Amino acid sequence: MPLLHLVFLLSSCGTQIAPQIPVWSDGISLDKRSQLQRIFVTSDLHDLIVLTAPGAPADDRLVPVRGSLHNDIIPFVSVDVSAQSGGASGVHFSYEYTVANSAGAHDAISEIEIAMPPFAPGTQAVYLVGGLPSRVWLGSVASALVASQRELGETAPGRNVFWVAEVIDGIMPGKSKSGFRAESSLMPGFTTIALGGDSYQPPEAMDEQSMVQADALKLDNYTRVTTLTFGPTFLPGSDPTEVLKNYRLGLKKLAQCSGVPHSVAFVSEMGRLLDEPGIAIRLSAGLGEMKNKPITPIETELLHCLEIVASAFQNRAGGRN
C-alpha cells in the first residue's frame, strides 16, 4: 500500500486549524451498516483512528485501529544568516539552522522543510558536521511547488528547502542539532518552517472505503508542526514595498505567537518603525537606534535580517543592483 502524501497543520504559534477529520470518542457507533465515517482523529491531533471492516463477513461491528501521526514534537528554531560577495553573481546568503526539540515532546524530528518562493535561483541545501558536508541528513530543494506559507497565511505554493534524516539520527525530545545550511541568492524574510517525525503508516487492514475517505479528508494536514523563522525569500532587487510587507506580517504573527519566545515591547517598537512613512529610505538609521534592544534570539535574528534588507535597499537606490 503506498504511503499517504503528508504536509502540515499544527502550529507552535497556537493557531491550529479546526480538524476537518471528525474527533474520535468512545461513544461513536461501530455498526458497519450505519457508520459511514471511517476516519477519525484523536482530540490531541496526535493519533488517527481508522475503522476497518470486521474479519468475518457476518460480524456487524467495525474494528477501530489506532496509529500515530508522529507529530508530538515541540520545536525551537534559530538561524544564523550571513551575506558575502558572490563576485559577478552578486551577493550570496548563507542560512544555518539549529533545531531543538523540547523535552516535553514525545516524537523525534526527522524531517525539516522551509518554505521558499517558486523561484529559487542557485539555492542548495547541505547538512554539516564539524563544518563538513554529511549525508546523515539529506539536504535538497524541492522541484515541485508544494510548500505552504502556513504561518503567514499565504496560499500561493512555493518550493521547500528540506532535510531528511537518512539514518536513525532524528532530533529526540530534549535534544538539538545544528548544521542545517541553505545557500541562496535570495535575501532573508519571515517564512514558515515545518518539522515532522516518521511518516504515518496506514494499517494493513484499511479497506477501500477508508482509503477513499483518507484521501478526501487530506490526512496530509496533520503530520507537521510549523513555526516562524527566517529563510531565503527575496531577490536583492525586490520591491521594498513587498519586502517590508513580509516583515510587517511576520511581526504581527510573532506578536501572537506563544511558541516563539519574544519581547512584546521589542516587537511592538519594531512594528512601529516599519510602519513609519518612507521607512525604506531611512531603514538603516532606524535600525541603528534598535541596535542594543533585542532580548531573545529571534529578535537578534530579526534585526540582523532587516540590516541585510536595508543594505539591499541602499544598493538599489544607488543603482548598484
pLDDT (tens, 9 = 90+) of the chain, 321 residues, equals: 233 333 335 787 765 555 678 899 989 999 988 888 988 999 988 999 999 877 666 778 888 989 899 999 999 999 999 988 765 557 789 999 999 999 999 999 999 999 999 998 889 999 999 999 999 999 999 999 989 898 998 888 999 999 999 877 899 999 999 999 999 999 999 999 999 998 877 777 677 777 787 777 666 668 889 999 999 999 988 999 999 999 999 999 999 988 899 999 999 999 999 999 999 999 999 999 999 999 999 999 999 999 999 999 987 766 554
196 class by beta-carbon count within 10 Å (0-12 exposed, 13-18 middle, 19+ buried): buried
Q: Give residue 194's pLDDT.
A: 93
Q: Give residue 8's pLDDT.
A: 39
Distances (CA, A) of 277 to 11, 237, 270, 318: 33, 21, 14, 20
Q: Give residue 166's pLDDT.
A: 84
Query: pTM score, two decimals?
Result: 0.88
CA distance 52 to 3: 17
Three-state secondary-structure class, residue 15: coil
- CA nearest neighbour of 223 among 259, 196, 203: 196
Hey, what amino acid is at 277? P
Contact 51, 38 (CB under 8 A): yes
Contact 290, 251 (CB under 8 A): no
Contact 255, 266 (CB under 8 A): no
Cell numbers for 197: 517525525
Three-state secondary-structure class, residue 208: helix
